[in-house]
Chain A
Amino acid sequence: MSQVMIRDQVPQRELLDSGHLACPGCGAPLAMRLVLKELGEKTVVVLPACCWSIIAGPFPQSSLHVPLYHTAFGSAAAVASGIRAALDIRGDTETTVIAWAGDGGTFDIGLQALSGAAERNENILYVCYDNEAYMNTGIQRSSATPWGAWTTTTPATQPQGSRKKDILAIMAAHRIPYAATASPSYPTDLLAKVRRARETRGTRFLHILSPCPPGWKHGDDLTIELGRMAVRSRVFPLMEVVNGVDWSFTVDHPGDPIGPYIRAQGRFRHLDDDAIGRIQEDIDARWDFLCRQVR
């Protein structure tokens, strides 16, 4: 059997410059780089406040080779809707408009605008790169922070006490044409989803898990490995949901125990085995739910 190299399956074009301002080991530029490789130059990016507000570079610089609009925290989906309308009215239906937001800008402050855009089935691609807290402001909890995690507003003596919001199910409930999860640790899967999103009209939603070495407290050489562990352990299954009803898994999820994933991250250091057992139960319960959706 001949060897298949991933790099042969990845478009060669680079629309993200190497001089960007992400931390070493950050998952977010990996995600952007891959998404833009697939979408190409005919793309407009809307960025609300998030780590990428920094990664994109300060005035007068930009690390991207596509037009970029920095906007206020809760407004990404609405600004993208306006750009889409403007392009359409002047006859440009080809350019892809993407809103590119973190978990805070998606799960929390941007959820209303996102829900509105999804309900209207705006012809935009909304990408949430999820590092599971307000990392740009210094690791404060969001509604995407997993149960039990330490952040600077959920100290180890009183860690995150609520379950991570199920954003994929929320978006699926809007019955949008395409919603999916993806990981830079699975580049060909991610690229295939971006391709499918590009070829779909209407609101498309991509949820990308983006490991954060300073926020998750892991080595910056572990980003790709942690992404794999998240998928293999089913804490972040890779899925697609078409029209809100057709759910499917896109890779194998062997169901590795969650322990090693938790133990690899300093943000969970205070958790005992009972707590990890509780996390495992929660993962198993959601897996059952997802399996019922997939049918």
Chain B
Amino acid sequence: MRKVIVGNHAISLGVKLARCEVISAYPITPQTQVVEMLSEMCASGDLDARFIKVESEHSAMAACVGASAAGVRAFTATSSHGLLYMHEMLHWAGGGRLPIVMANVNRALGPGWNIWVDQNDSLSQRDTGWVQLYCETNQEVLDTTIQAFRLAETVDVPVMINLDAFYLSHTSEPVDIPEQALVDGFLPRREAHLKLDTAAPHAFGALVRPDDYMEMRWDQQAAMARAGEVLLELDAEWERLTGRSYGAVELYQADEADLLLVTSGTITSTARDVIDHRRAAGERIGLVKVRMFRPFPTESVRAAVRGARRVAVLDRNISPGHGGIFAEEIRSALYDVPLDDRPELFGYVLGLGGRDVTPSVIDGIIDQTRAASAPAREDLWVGVKP
């Protein structure tokens, strides 16, 4: 069935199709429609789930931790400071290897408080042991929500779905909504192999001494690596079922491109349009969309940029004192590519706090990248007023 829906409702419908069993959340703009719709579904009985309406995001994630440890499918949604308030429990979910799924609407952080799009909320949670996926369209949001539960439960790692504030969360787009039977076949009921069980009592999360701690983190690292492989497998299966797939990294118009833009989130759609125009004019330019940020798709990124002379990374985020975070990660991924094969990397910080990234902004970046004699020592800030 095809419906015109906002990104927030694409999340809610995905959670319903996934037959999530426990939901716990606290409201924050621009996430609220996600939990409003889920509240309606739980109240009407359309979704047979318990919705725990908690007093904070810390408790929202804590309740998901408890539910997931008891063996059921658990979900929450948040944004911005709500995500930051969860930080401690994000580590508990990641380290505890609990397959919780969360939607995070990417929103800027205060002070100078701001409700518009910016990726610093989720990227500052980089090291909490969560898979991070960034979406471009509402269709991708819905499909990713369903995929996320399957991915999380296959590798016992929590998954964070990120969507841009307003550009996705509150923008209506046509979305193909899969049949329940299709989703049921793709995502069976969760049967945890280890859980809180009075018939087989175990202690979870106890003090672990130096003799064993590293092995637990090693297992977590291995599970993260596996998550990258499993995402591609289940994405291929999803394509067979629905005709849609997204991969970890997507190439667009990349054949023979000497300049590649690297984007994530909705900037990608704008960039596609710019590239279409320039390709039509004969320019060899393409795009690499990074959908999966953790685990970082190092091999896919290296393969994607092979052959390009220059790469321009567009970062709607900033690590103060360093630079754009995707650019940092991509530099790191390319470090040991031999110099002759390694494209020059240009980092651009732009669009923070919802500053509009228009086609002309991207055109300017492309022109600047082509005209430069060499990359600047630091990432360049785009459009900062004097």
Contacts and interface: CB of A to CB of B under 8 A. Distances in A.
A57 to B, nearest CB: 7
A54 B207 contact: yes
Given A53-B206, A79-B65, A82-B68, 17 more contacts: A44-B196, A56-B206, A62-B203, A64-B201, A69-B69, A70-B204, A71-B205, A79-B69, A81-B24, A81-B52, A82-B62, A82-B67, A85-B63, A86-B68, A86-B72, A90-B21, A90-B71
A43 B201 CA distance: 10
B201 A65 contact: yes
5 contacts: A46-B66, A58-B207, A66-B198, A68-B202, A81-B54
A82 B64 contact: yes
A72 B132 CA distance: 23
A108 interface: no
A64 B198 CA distance: 11
A58 B66 contact: no
A78 B54 contact: yes
A294 to B, nearest CB: 31
Nearest to B192: A86
Interface in B80-138: 88-89, 92
B49 A44 contact: no
Contacts of B201: 41, 62, 64-68
A80 B66 contact: yes
Contact of A120 (B53, B202, B212): B53
B191 to A, nearest CB: 11
B385 interface: no
A68 B202 CA distance: 6
Contacts of B54: 78, 81, 113, 116
Interface centre among B48, B52, B209, by most A CB within 10 Å? Answer: B52
A70 B205 contact: yes
Contacts of A60: 206, 212
Contacts of B63: 78-79, 81-82, 85
Nearest to A85: B50
Contacts of A116: 54-56, 59
Interface string A174-214: 00000000000000000000000000000000000000000
Contact of B198 (A43, A53, A61, A75): A43
B148 interface: no
B52 A120 contact: yes
Place the interface of chain B in its size category.
Answer: 35 or more
Contact of B49 (A41, A84, A89, A115): A89
Nearest to B24: A82
Place the interface of chain A in its size category.
Answer: 35 or more
B208 interface: yes
A75 B65 contact: yes
A289 interface: no
Interface centre among A54, A57, A78, by most B CB within 10 Å? Answer: A78
A42 interface: yes
Contacts of B56: 112-113, 116
Interface of A: 41-44, 46, 53-54, 56-62, 64-72, 74-75, 77-90, 95, 112-113, 115-116, 119-120, 122
Contacts of B88: 72, 75
Interface in B8-60: 21-22, 24, 48-50, 52-56, 58-60
A56 B72 contact: no
A75 B67 CA distance: 13
Contacts of B204: 67-70
Contacts of A90: 21, 71-72
Contacts of B198: 41-44, 66-67, 95
Given A67-B198, A67-B202, A89-B72, A58 B209 contact: yes
B241 interface: no
Interface centre among B49, B56, B74, B212, by most A CB within 10 Å? Answer: B56
Given A43-B198, A71-B92, A82 B21 contact: no
Contacts of B74: 82, 86
A134 to B, nearest CB: 17
Given A57-B206, A95-B198, A83 B66 contact: yes
Contacts of B67: 82-83, 85-86
A186 B205 CA distance: 33
B197 interface: yes
Contacts of A85: 22, 24, 50, 52, 63, 66-67, 72
A97 B212 CA distance: 29
Interface centre among B65, B66, B207, by most A CB within 10 Å? Answer: B66
B22 A89 contact: yes
Contact of A79 (B48, B62, B71, B208): B62
A120 B26 CA distance: 14
Contact of B205 (A69, A95, A119, A122): A69
A74 B92 CA distance: 12
Nearest to B208: A59
A122 B205 CA distance: 23
A58 B206 contact: yes
Contacts of A78: 24, 54, 58-60, 62-63, 66
Contacts of A95: 198
